[in-house]
Structure 1
Amino acid sequence: MNETRRRVLDALSDGPMSGPELAERLDVSRAAVWKHVEELRDEAFEIASTDDGYELVGVPEFGGAAVEFGLDAPFDVEYHDAVGSTNDRARELAEAGREDVAVLADEQTGGRGRLDREWAAPSGGIWLSVLTRPDVPPTHAPLFTLAAAVAVTRAAREAGVPAEIKWPNDVLVPADDADAPVGGRKLVGILTEMEGEADRVSWVVVGIGINANVDVSDLVSGATSLRAEGGDVDRRLFTQRVLEEFHALTNDLDSVLPAWREYASTLGQRVRVETPSGAVVGEAVDVTFPGALVVETDDGQVTVTAGDCDHLRPV
């Protein structure tokens, strides 16, 4: 969002303010104030002209400017009604030298999950990719995936949905019905991409696909949505909470693993992890830096850094 428009909104958040007062406060002309107010109206902010001056009476339900307004995290938000892939767009921005950008869309037409699995991304969801340039070595990059999972889980729980994290990057909602996958139905998928050198990360893009205000019938089998679990959410506020939690966690990487363990459904479960060297079967007992799963097998503990994890039904 343009910085002056941001300052106009901040000023109007305190109550009605006349054009001359705004001009003086922002150190711009009255004509510039009028121009910025009109541009904010074009972005669906409801700004009334009253006897007391301009008054902010309504904020858009969704969109880039809406999410930036009141956001307590340093991200510019680029919004699309529809886009092929927010991760693809975030990579383009990374290659152009941008940083601290959240690419947000109402709909993705070419969404994908891990291992290029199908990922439905219909209108009404929150399809989000966060581009950052952290000053960390590449070995720390997996922590950004875990941080995203924690951020969304916290936001979902605040919305009344009992979300849990399945290693490494799925956010699920427990389900007892017979046709539900073991561990629950998938609410959120996370796909992280990175570019870097041997000793440092150049950029990280964390794609977060949230089944928000969408019908389960529009999703792939085994998925659920915030709508189905607790009703529609305010997507603007939900997105803000995710970005704020993600920012706080990734600025304190030591806090990520303890937070992940708190919400993990995988720990204590019997699991099967498919790895390039074969299947690892046993009880998941811990997750260690930078996000590796420790499995107690019949032959001893095995630490898995990457793989496809399934929760197994009790024997």
Structure 2
Amino acid sequence: MDAEQLAQRLTQPNGPYAGVTVVESTKSTNADLERGRPPDRTVLIAREQTAGEGRRTRSWSSPPGGLYVSIYYAPGVPAHRWPWLTLLAGVALVNVARSTGVEAVLKWPNDLLLGPGRKKGAGVLATTTDKGVVLGIGLNVQPVQAELGPGGLAPTSLAEEGANELDLTELATRLLLELDKWEAPWRAADGDPFVSGLHEEYRSHCETLGQKVRVELINGSFEGTARYLETDGTLVVRDVEGHDRSVPAGDVVHLRTAT
């Protein structure tokens, strides 16, 4: 990965970011940025993570050959709208994957599903500080060997799905520019996903909507049909008894297309 080229293309005044740093290895890029108190829109990229973390403190395999990026945002928008940054990350991932010729969709909230087999190709984790959000993204680029994830999702990578671009410098550039393409108008709209166009863009990529799903919560599970997103990104599922239930967090398993 060419750190000098990334900095030249992406940092101010040529690009939207305050700084881009590339390290060989670290435990967690998110943890590093949380400790560092960096300027807004600071980027940290690692060639390898030794203690990556996913949702609900699950471990996330981060071997060499993947793209592991964290960005610190102090967007100055109401904190209740910060969760949209994780959905925004999903939008960026879909568009980057498609730019390499790979079929890609989203499973709520931000699981990147690649290829006709709908296997998982990326992980997203956001951690909050008192003033902002550290958004962490791990994209599988080269072939991976990992166990099934939540909901029985098998892992895959851009390489395994036949991507026409696997250069990490180019993929990092595409991802960071795609993030800015959606984060900048979202920020300018004070975090409003409708005014910024983010809600519609996300909805167009989210295969969960309209699906029969099983929602797995800490204290149980239920089945129903995924209907729509609330203004804060919460998923609304109509259960088998006909009641709409808001799902702010949980693992969603696609069962079959709703009729």
Q: Do Structure 1 and Structure 2 share a fold, with TM-score over 0.5?
A: yes
Which string of whole-angstrom CA distances, capped at 9 and with x for unpartnered residues, describes residues 234-280 of structure 1?
21121111111212211222222111111111111111112356424
Q: Which has the larger radius of gyration?
A: 1
SS in 1 for 2:121: strand
Indicate conservation of the 8 Å contact 2:17/2:43, yes or no.
Answer: no
Choose between structure 1 and 2: higher helix proportion. Answer: 1
- Percent identity between the aligned chains? 34
The one of 135, 139, 161 equivalent to 1:229 is 161
SS in 1 for 2:201: helix
- Greater alpha carbon shift after TM alignment, 119-128 vs 287-296: 287-296
Indicate conservation of the 8 Å contact 1:195/1:204, yes or no.
Answer: yes
Q: TM-score normalised to the size of structure 1?
A: 0.71
Residue aligning to 1:29: none
In the alignment of these two chains, the number of paired residues is: 238
Runs of 4 or more off by more than 4 Å in structure 1? none
Residue aligning to 1:279: 221
SS in 2 for 1:157: helix
Residue aligning to 1:158: 99
SS in 1 for 2:59: coil
User: Following the alignment from structure 1 to structure 2, what is the Cα–Cα distance between the partners of residues 277 and 77?
Assistant: 41
SS in 2 for 1:226: coil
Indicate the structure whose relative CO is greater, using CA pairs within 8 Å and at least 6 residues apart.
2
Q: TM-score normalised to the size of structure 2?
A: 0.86
Residue aligning to 2:84: 143
Residue aligning to 2:40: 99
**What is the CA-CA distance between 1:288 and the residue it aligns to?**
2.1
- Greater alpha carbon shift after TM alignment, 117-126 vs 247-256: 247-256
Match status 1:250 vs 2:183: yes
Residue aligning to 1:296: 238
The one of 225, 249, 252 equivalent to 1:306 is 249
SS in 2 for 1:148: helix
Give the residue type in structure 2 aligned to 1:243.
L
Which string of whole-angstrom CA distances, capped at 9 and with x for unpartnered residues, describes residues 161-212 of structure 1?
1111111121111444xxxxxxx2110110001123xxxxx01100000001
Which string of whole-angstrom CA distances, capped at 9 and with x for unpartnered residues, describes residues 3-59 of structure 1?
xxxxxxxxxxxxxxxxxxxxxxxxxxxxxxxxxxxxxxxxxxxxxxxxxxxxxxxxx
User: Following the alignment from structure 1 to structure 2, what is the Cα–Cα distance between the partners of residues 308 and 299?
Assistant: 21
**What is the CA-CA distance between 1:99 and the residue it aligns to?**
2.4
User: Following the alignment from structure 1 to structure 2, what is the Cα–Cα distance between the partners of residues 122 and 169?
Assistant: 21
Change (3 A) 1:135 1:314: closer
Give the residue type in structure 2 aligned to 1:224.
T
User: Following the alignment from structure 2 to structure 1, what is the Cα–Cα distance between the partners of residues 73 and 236?
Assistant: 29
Match status 1:210 vs 2:139: yes
Which string of whole-angstrom CA distances, capped at 9 and with x for unpartnered residues, describes residues 57-76 of structure 1?
xxxxx143222232343241
User: Following the alignment from structure 1 to structure 2, what is the Cα–Cα distance between the partners of residues 307 and 296?
Assistant: 15
User: Following the alignment from structure 1 to structure 2, what is the Cα–Cα distance between the partners of residues 295 and 286?
Assistant: 8
User: Following the alignment from structure 1 to structure 2, what is the Cα–Cα distance between the partners of residues 174 and 265?
Assistant: 13
Gaps in structure 1 of 5+ consecutive residues: 1-61, 177-183, 197-201
User: Following the alignment from structure 1 to structure 2, what is the Cα–Cα distance between the partners of residues 307 and 155?
Assistant: 26
**What is the CA-CA distance between 1:300 and the residue it aligns to?**
2.2
User: Following the alignment from structure 1 to structure 2, what is the Cα–Cα distance between the partners of residues 152 and 185?
Assistant: 14
